[in-house]
Amino acid sequence: MQIINKPNKESWSQILKRPTQTVNDIEDIVSAIFNDVIKNGDTAINKYTTRFDGVDLQSNIVSEEAIQEAIKRVPEKLQEAIKKAKQNIEAFHAAQKTSRITIDTTNGVQCWQEKRPIEKVGLYIPGGTAPLFSTVLMLAIPAQIADCKEIVLCSPPNEKGELAPEILFAAQLCGVTKIFKVGGIQAIAGLTFGTETIPQVYKIFGPGNQFVTVAKQLATKFGVAIDMPAGPSELLVVADDNAKASYIASDLLSQAEHGEDSQVILVSTSKSLIDSVSKEIEKQIKELPRQAIAEKAIANSKLIYVENDQLALDLINEYGPEHFIICTENEDFYIDGIANAGSIFIGNYTPESAGDYASGTNHTLPTNGFSKAYSGVNLDSFLKSMTFQKISKEGLLNIGETIELMADAEGLQAHKNAVTIRLEDLISTKTEIS
């Protein structure tokens, strides 16, 4: 990892640059595949599955028989671990439910807000070098709690044309309604437009590589919502001499092994800690089965020394990390001051891996600096807030003139008339009665 000492603020944007291609580099490829799927549906989907995943499928649908057969191949201990993680994730997301909010803004004017589920959602589960069955839990559980009617899952098949049995076990456990062996850009296209087999959905969720991220962004041009631009994984750790170097190194490597385009950063006010972490990384990385992947990610990563906590915090907020670990003596300073981060992990005994799997928080988070404006996936991601109002005769008499004056000032006569015609009826009726 590159060690950077006391960088000046003018250099921060260059130092903190992500190792990703620009949207322009990828968008032409995505657009071409989208257009092919629009025209040719499943035929195009199958063509790209053969090209990118190296497998020729007779069908991209996962049958109920295949699901039940796959479940038998998941070890019992792992099944129990997945169920325990499900309980924690379920508890945290169920606690996010809110009740109807009702208020009389004026006598006779009642307004309220309710949340209703998004009816059709698509869940993208990355496969590739590491089939992320944990992401099934993170997306399907809140979708199920929200009561989404159709929960469609897409994930790329392996070289045998199958999905990992753990993915199928988790999907069945969490109420997924349809499962397809489709990955990459073609999966996002299928969920966006619908095909002969893949249903069109209203919102697409899930992380992915740079191509999947751009495909999701392009899907919004066709009226499909997305959770966020969630691309290659990233982690930033802030630490001082209160931290343990071996712990920090293990956290950095835990994200580096996700993919070659992952990025990990350590920001520290301690030069000695930086040196110790650097040595620990060299030691620990040699023991990893995914050493080659981690090494390429580490090459894109940084160890940054800054002079004080305030500079560290300013740099971190400028970066806006997906995952943010705080291992400092003055942890409250960072807890209170962090403005831009997807998910925060506090203390020496809170590894980021806990949030990835089983503590209960969601691991589908904004990357590439999008934490400055986006939240991570939560229960509300699967819900729509709808507002209602009911106005009585008294209520319209109370606010009618206000509406008329405002509509008239904007030059919208029909808006004014919609109130005036009612007020005239109410006033004439009132006069007749009196």
Tell me, what's the pLDDT at 231?
77
Region of poorest pLDDT, from 35-39, 133-137, 296-300, 355-359: 296-300
Q: Is the pLDDT of residue 83 over 70?
A: yes
Q: Do the domains at 2-17+232-360 and 23-229+380-385 have one common CATH topology? A: yes
Residues in the annotated binding site for Zn(2+): 255, 258, 356, 415
Tell me, what's the pLDDT at 142?
98
Q: What would the pLDDT profile of 135-151 be if each residue is shown by its tens digit?
A: 999 999 999 999 999 99
Tell me, what's the pLDDT at 282?
96
The encoded tokens of residue 85 equal 């993680």
The span from the CA of 153 to the CA of 201, in Å, is: 11
**What is the average pLDDT across 252-256?**
96
Predicted confidence band at 300 (pLDDT cuts at 50, 70, 90)? confident
Neighbours of 413 (CB within 10 A): 11
Q: What would the pLDDT profile of 90-124 be if each residue is shown by its tens digit?
A: 999 999 999 999 999 999 999 999 999 999 999 99
**What is the average pLDDT across 399-413?**
98
What share of the chain in percent tops pLDDT 70? 98
The span from the CA of 136 to the CA of 205, in Å, is: 10
> Is there a catalytic annotation at residue 323?
yes
The encoded tokens of residue 119 equal 């009816």
**What is the average pLDDT across 348-367?**
97
Measure the CA angle with vertex 184, ends 165 and 172; round to 5°.
Answer: 30
The span from the CA of 332 to the CA of 328, in Å, is: 9
The span from the CA of 288 to the CA of 103, in Å, is: 58
Q: What would the pLDDT profile of 23-35 be if each residue is shown by its tens digit?
A: 677 899 999 999 9
What share of the chain in percent tops pLDDT 90? 91
Q: Please, are residues 233 and 321 in contact by the beta-carbon 8 Å criterion?
A: no
Region of poorest pLDDT, from 90-99, 252-261, 313-322, 371-380: 252-261
Mean pLDDT of the chain: 95
Is CATH 3.40.50.1980 the classification given to domain 23-229+380-385? yes
Domain boundaries, the chain: 2-17+232-360, 23-229+380-385, 393-433
pTM: predicted TM-score of the whole model, two decimal places: 0.93
2-17+232-360 — its CATH code? 3.40.50.1980
Predicted confidence band at 22 (pLDDT cuts at 50, 70, 90)? low
Q: Is the pLDDT of residue 349 over 70?
A: yes
The span from the CA of 383 to the CA of 48, in Å, is: 32
Residues in the annotated binding site for NAD(+): 124, 186, 209
Tell me, what's the pLDDT at 20?
67
Predicted confidence band at 43 (pLDDT cuts at 50, 70, 90)? very high
- Label each residue of the chain as H, E or C: CEEEECCCHHHHHHHCCCCCCCHHHHHHHHHHHHHHHHHHHHHHHHHHHHHHHCCCCCCCECCHHHHHHHHCCCCHHHHHHHHHHHHHHHHHHHCCCCCCEEEEEECCEEEEEEEEECCEEEEECCCCCCCCHHHHHHHHHHHHHHCCCEEEEEECCCCCCCCCHHHHHHHHHCCCCEEEECCHHHHHHHHHHCCCCCCCCCEEECCCCHHHHHHHHHHHHHCCEECCCCCCCEEEEEECCCCCHHHHHHHHHHHHCCCCCCEEEEEECCHHHHHHHHHHHHHHHCCCCCHHHHHHHHHCCEEEECCCHHHHHHHHHHHCCCEEEEECCCHHHHHHHCCCCCEEEECCCCCHHHHHHCCCCCCCCCCCCHHHCCCCCCHHHHEEEEEEEEECHHHHHHHHHHHHHHHHHCCCHHHHHHHHHHHHHHHHHHHHHC
Tell me, what's the pLDDT at 57?
95
Region of poorest pLDDT, from 19-33, 189-203, 249-263, 381-395: 19-33
Out of 323, 394, 404, 424, the active site residue is: 323
Residues in the annotated binding site: 124, 186, 209, 233, 255, 258, 323, 356, 410, 415
Out of 93, 322, 352, 363, the active site residue is: 322
Predicted confidence band at 414 (pLDDT cuts at 50, 70, 90)? very high
Residues in the annotated binding site for substrate: 233, 255, 258, 323, 356, 410, 415
Tell me, what's the pLDDT at 433?
65
Neighbours of 390 (CB within 10 A): 10
Predicted confidence band at 21 (pLDDT cuts at 50, 70, 90)? low
Tell me, what's the pLDDT at 129?
67
